[in-house]
Amino acid sequence: MRDTTLPPAHSDPAASARRNVTVLVMAQAFLGAQMPMIFTIGGLAGQSLAPNPCWATLPISLIVLGSMLTAAPLSSFMQRFGRRAGFFLGTAGGTSGAVVGALGLIQSSFPLFLAGSFLTGIYMSAQGFYRFAAADTAQGTFQPKAISYVLAGGLAAAVIGPQLVKVTAQAMVIPFLGTYLTVVAINVIGATLFVFLDIPRPPPRDPAHHHGRTRMALLRDPAIAVAIICAMVSYALMNLVMTSTPLAVVGCGFDTGTAADIVTAHVLAMYLPSFFTGHLIARFGVTRIVALGLAILALAGGVALTGVELEHFFVALVLLGVGWNFGFIGATSMLAAAHAPEERGAVQGMNDVLVFGGVTLASLASGGLMNCSGGTAQDGWTSVNLAMVPFLALAGGALIWLVMRPRDAA
């Protein structure tokens, strides 16, 4: 059954899949620009409003918490009403979050600013489903490529977002207010893209038929469990380091514009490999690409620990982006291949609850490690990067266990 409000479907399923990917790439590029904007200034704005500097990154944490708490309800909503309706709901969350955040800045209210951040998490959650929506109508070897292409749309977001921060952050008397008003406009305009999305709604549930495994049974599936662990670690560690980066850069004597440039390089590195990540997965296998991503994340932490000059920040954040790309896209592809269509809503919602739960904890820890674990910004930056080690060991161990399982058990 299709959403009757959608444009007529292509008779050719491959053509329909390509059109959906095109729409989702454009959404990732334009609507997605708000995330690097907010992540660049969220900690700095929080630092100016928070009564305690240890809470500077709490606005970022509230965004991720909002994303975590809305992932499962949003997934169920899409299962019932379709992707298009869910993505419209996401842009409504982004709009309301930016409006409330702007009011928080106007009134110098940290609680109000946090409330806006939480609402922004609704958009972040919806954006996370773009990659799954790309896989809904893609078939065969085009599926991992479709996921990669949609995430590649973040390249434009990586350029647009931080550059808009440079133009808008100090454009008004109240710092960062212009940025939040710009985010409102991005959501309102970008929502029109979803008019052209053509993804069939899942068939209505029939009590007489089997509807897939329970959530506990799904979690006991080794491929699903390892995919979720690797996605959690890849995303959480990327967020842990990225959230602290503007604070570390400014704390080490550089300006906000320089921090925006480093975030730009990082987000470009997150999405640029997406043009070929899907091809690499198809050729070398998903587990090898996930393992490569984890290794590159470890290398990023090693570079960051060697110094706090500009070149250290740039190289570490570029490696962090590439490692996230391979680890997260690989884990998403692993998950998409491990469940039946009728299990889509349960698996994807559960995955994003767990992934963004880990990201929430990482962003909460980021501010404390950065501002409250040493006497200087360099001490805090060192603590942030050392915190990566045990989680990389966990994900690497889980991946090795999956590969080494006997074939009959697999």
pLDDT tens digits, one per residue of 14-64: 777 888 888 999 999 999 999 989 888 887 888 788 888 778 778 888 898
Q: What per-residue confidence (pLDDT) applies to 10?
A: 45
Q: Answer whether residue 183 is part of any domain.
A: yes
Q: What is the mean pLDDT of the chain?
A: 84
Q: Band of the pLDDT at 5, cuts 50, 70, 90? A: very low
What six digits make up the tokens of 267? 């987000």
Q: What per-residue confidence (pLDDT) applies to 204?
A: 62
Average pLDDT on 300-325 reads 93
Cβ neighbours of residue 279 under 8 Å, at least 6 residues apart?
145, 148
> What CA–CA distance (Å, rounded) separates 128 from 319?
22
Q: Are 27 and 190 in contact (CB under 8 A)?
A: yes
Q: Band of the pLDDT at 213, cuts 50, 70, 90? A: confident
Q: Answer whether residue 351 is part of any domain.
A: yes
Query: What percent of the chain shows pLDDT beyond 70?
Result: 90
Q: Answer whether residue 280 is part of any domain.
A: yes
Half-sphere exposure of 162 (CA within 13 A, CB side): 20
Q: Is the pLDDT of residue 139 over 80?
A: no
Q: Answer whether residue 7 is part of any domain.
A: no
Q: Is the pLDDT of residue 189 over 90?
A: yes
Q: Is the pLDDT of residue 89 over 90?
A: yes
> What CA–CA distance (Å, rounded) separates 41 from 172?
15
Q: What per-residue confidence (pLDDT) applies to 1?
A: 39
Domain containing 74: what range?
13-195+215-404
Of 146-150, 300-304, 380-384, highest mean pLDDT? 300-304
Q: Answer whether residue 141 is part of any domain.
A: yes
Q: Answer whether residue 314 is part of any domain.
A: yes
Average pLDDT on 328-340 reads 82
Query: What percent of the chain shows pLDDT beyond 90?
Result: 36
Total number of domains in the chain: 1
Average pLDDT on 352-370 reads 81
Q: Is the pLDDT of residue 11 over 90?
A: no
Average pLDDT on 354-380 reads 81
Over residues 100-116, the pLDDT tens digits come to 999 999 999 999 999 99
Q: Band of the pLDDT at 142, cuts 50, 70, 90? A: confident
Q: Answer whether residue 236 is part of any domain.
A: yes
Q: What per-residue confidence (pLDDT) applies to 91?
A: 96
Three-point CA angle 242, 75, 68, nearest 5°: 35
Cβ neighbours of residue 194 under 8 Å, at least 6 residues apart?
23, 27, 84, 87, 88, 91
Q: Tell me which of 398 and 47 has the higher pLDDT.
A: 398
Of 90-104, 141-155, 167-181, 348-362, highest mean pLDDT? 90-104
> What CA–CA distance (Å, rounded) separates 385 from 387?
5
Q: What per-residue confidence (pLDDT) applies to 4?
A: 41
Over residues 219-277, the pLDDT tens digits come to 788 888 899 999 999 999 998 998 888 888 888 888 877 887 898 889 889 878 877 88
pTM of the model: 0.71
Q: Answer whether residue 206 is part of any domain.
A: no
**DSSP character string of 97-164:** HHHHHHHHHHTT-HHHHHHHHHHHHHHHHHHHTHHHHHHHH--TTHHHHHHHHHHHTHHHHHHHHHHH
> What CA–CA distance (Å, rounded) separates 42 from 184?
15
Q: Are 127 and 28 in contact (CB under 8 A)?
A: yes
Q: Tell me which of 110 and 344 has the higher pLDDT.
A: 110
Q: Is the pLDDT of residue 324 over 90?
A: yes
CATH number at residue 228: 1.20.1250.20
Average pLDDT on 361-389 reads 84
Query: Out of 64-73, 318-327, 337-346, which region has the weakest mean confidence (pLDDT)?
Result: 337-346
